[in-house]
Structure 1
């Protein structure tokens, strides 16, 4: 069960609205994600936001765009109303900023500050230990899609039976000393097809920039929640 489905289930149990209205609210949130991407520099999936305060910021950003504000007014404020209900859903959840693990054993994502892990020294270089479960959760949360382009599907993994993708630390682990908190967290691990992953490791910087820029916009909010502050220019410099 993904977060959209959980929101719908919560609305059915708590809102008193009809199923038709609830489905309209759920679709409105998905539409707002797309419209914010089309009308601004924001690139975000609202259903991946689990901080109710951030939802309030998103609503303000939406209303700052004249075309979208007028559309919301024509629609009797259905779009902003859907965000208000989504915010209530998050606030009433027992584990704020968490996608709760359900009975189907769905992975949970928690955006929080995490202390740095352990490291070893190999030939004078620090090698920071990584938690494989962090990568697995990030891949599961992406529905085994490439986060740069979800149409990048090259082959089915023999192990998972799903589209093959790989986990990648957006802020490379070798720069852990530059940050107060751990880089080995879900906020910093993106799911990529094998081609995009190889480009980030082996490609020319001019080919890396578009990928890095999109991934940065997708993750900037969750990175901040995890105590990882970095500008886009600073991130790009790490790949040069």
Structure 2
């Protein structure tokens, strides 16, 4: 269902909520650069089916409300343009608002994909609202790899991701030896998205199983 959140600076944004209201574990799910679209709702519903309470904030509401893009070249270009207009500090205010909307007694984690994978990393390094953070193919993690996480982190990358070279993944490994990192051989960017040409169901299933095990351990 759609809900409205209010960030600390007064900004109001939409979010997708799923899962039981009395869940013991809860997640902020962070969008790709394509908005809270059908794929992101699918991701949320999958976690909800595992018993998680989930909130996925519409981070583009800061610049344009109701954004839901597909995965064609023009959608990628538009998504990148929108992302460039969103301030990192404002994004974290929206993430905190999403965390506050989760059940108060639940242990809270954060998981994100693409742009959201980087934001999930920031959820570990720039917030104290989460007990665990998981990022899938976050392209900005290498650039902020020296930030100190305040909770356990698990990261997933595709070996042949054109936007995240293995040299970046190695830099993250060197900077964060305590972070659990998985690389999927032959997988590209977005390998976990069922609506993209790069989708690899087997790798997506393994990554999801690892993600669920990670949260089961730390939340």
TM-score, with structure 2 as normaliser: 0.30
The structure where strand makes up a greater share of residues is: 2
Give 1 or 2: higher helix fraction.
1
**How does the TM-score come out when normalised to structure 1?**
0.29
Larger radius of gyration: 1
